[in-house]
Amino acid sequence: MPKYVYSYKSPVGTFWIHQERDKSWSLSIGEDIIEVVGYWDSAFAAADAVFMQTTGWDSWDDRPKKEAPLFLDGWTKRAVR
């Protein structure tokens, strides 16, 4: 079964969602240096945290308006090895 990484280019940097070895999903932000924001039970939950601005990363969560896609299908999806 192929694995995927999801990305969303936000005004504060690129968010990344990918599956970890323990089957959780990590949410990270960054371009060259990636900072892990947190872990969720699913990619959908991680994307929802970005949309709802409840990631735990203040630079995003404290922004005045929601700018992220409502659903994970609004993110860029890429297969990874």
Mean pLDDT for all residues in the chain: 93
Number of domains in the chain: 1
The residue count of the chain comes to 81
**AA identity, residue 38:** G
Measured between alpha carbons, how far is 24 from 21 in angstroms, rounded to an integer? 7
| Residue (of 25, 24, 5, 14) closest to 60 by Cα position | 14
Measured between alpha carbons, how far is 60 from 24 in angstroms, rounded to an integer? 22
| Residue (of 67, 73, 70) closest to 4 by Cα position | 73
Range of the domain at 62: 3-80
Indicate yes or no: pTM above 0.95. Answer: no
Residues forming beta bridges with residue 13, ordered by sequence position:
10
- Residues 2-53 pLDDT 10s: 689 999 999 999 999 999 988 999 999 998 888 999 999 999 999 999 999 9
